[in-house]
Amino acid sequence: MPLFTLDELADAVEIIRPIVAPTPTYAWPLLAQRIGAKVFVKHENHTPTGAFKIRGGLVYVEALRRANALPAGFVTATRGNHGQSIAYAATRVGKPAIIVVPEGNSAEKNAAMAAWGGQLVISGRDFDEARPVAAQIAADKGYLQTPAFHHELVRGVATYPLELFQAAEDLDVVYVPIGMGSGVCATITVRDLLGLKTEIVGVVAENAPAFGLSFVAGEVVRGESANTFADGMACRAPLPEPLEILRAGASRVVAVSDNEIAEAMRIYYSDTHNVAEGAGAAPLAALMKERGKYAGKRVGLALSGGNVDASHYAHILSGQTPTVG
């Protein structure tokens, strides 16, 4: 049973379109030369918040508004892009949003969340420690805790793979980064609704392998750590629902190292002059790792966001890899 129908997907497009124009899908010739395939990049780094998550937040909050179920306020845990989306969407309907981020979170993502109207609370060593703090705040204040994965969030996020499949027909494969699973589950669902045969490959960081381990095991496997600078993929505790969708619809999950992610960020800059954050560059890192599989094929990459702190980015462009922990 899909998470939504084509009609519900069309409705999501109507909800987001006044705010989020279709982001570009470009086939960059230097990437094609480097990979030996036609590479189509879906530029979700070009949304108003610099990442794909805004689509989910807008649809999630609008669904509550239509149901006359808007809460007194919203609370969520995040590493940044999800928090921006909830702060943005909550502010549009006049509701407060408390955003719980872990210690050492991206300073520039924190600033953006605050600028969109979010009230920041810093707690926990990573995302998975921030989640129970958000739950306690929600209980104390009577606010709604917004999860990282929800069918309305996925319905909104799904508008980006829809745009990708419409812009680049007959893709042989699409690589998608995995954080808590909304992006890859949205891509799988849209692929299936459109009746396409495109292969979907999930991408995780070697230093945050929980989703990859769970995919192989067939059950949730908690990770011991998520010490990757690619904060959008820093998950230790996968949820059962996205794991089930992933296992049913993806061909495999590829793990990439932080060094490989950093190199992909440099390649995106040199070959396209686009800024990609770690999670946004991970699909390119995975394609580089597997380039022999798709020689002469048509490959899609989800550049899911470009929100990386300037100091980290300068470090990466100088040829280095940021360390975590």
CB–CB of 208/253 below 8 Å?
A: no
Dihedrals phi, psi of 202, to nearest 5 degrees: -85, 150
β-bridge partners, 145: 75
DSSP structural state of residue 100: E
Alpha helix positions (H), the chain: 6-16, 29-35, 53-66, 81-92, 107-115, 127-141, 151-157, 159-167, 182-193, 210-217, 240-249, 258-272, 278-289, 310-317
Edge-to-edge strands, sheet with 252-256 = 25-27, 38-43, 298-303, 173-177, 199-205, 252-256
111 φ/ψ angles, rounded to the nearest 5 degrees: -65, -40
- Token pair for 12: 């999501």
Coil, strand or helix: which one is 144? strand
pLDDT tens digits, one per residue of 116-149: 999 999 998 887 788 899 999 999 999 999 998 9
233-279 pLDDT tens trace: 988 889 999 999 999 999 999 999 999 999 999 999 999 999 999 99
The answer regarding whether domain 53-151 maps to CATH 3.40.50.2300 reads no
pTM, two decimal places? 0.96
What pLDDT score does 223 carry?
83
The per-residue pLDDT for 325 is 64
Cβ distance 39 to 31 under 8 Å?
A: yes
Cα pseudo-dihedral 131, 134, 136, 141, rounded to 10? -170
Can 6-51+157-317 and 53-151 be said to share one CATH topology?
yes
CATH number of 6-51+157-317: 3.40.50.1100
What are the boundaries of each domain within the chain? 6-51+157-317, 53-151
Residue type, 267: I
Q: What is the CA radius of gyration of the chain?
A: 18
For the chain, 325 residues long, give each residue's pLDDT as a single digit of tens: 889 999 999 999 999 999 999 999 999 999 999 999 999 999 999 999 999 999 999 999 999 999 999 999 999 998 889 999 999 999 999 999 999 998 888 899 999 999 999 999 999 888 778 889 999 999 999 999 999 899 999 999 999 999 999 999 999 999 999 999 999 999 999 999 999 999 999 999 999 999 999 999 999 999 877 889 999 998 888 999 999 999 999 999 999 999 999 999 999 999 999 999 999 999 999 999 999 999 999 999 999 999 999 999 999 999 999 988 6
Tokens of 177: 């980064």
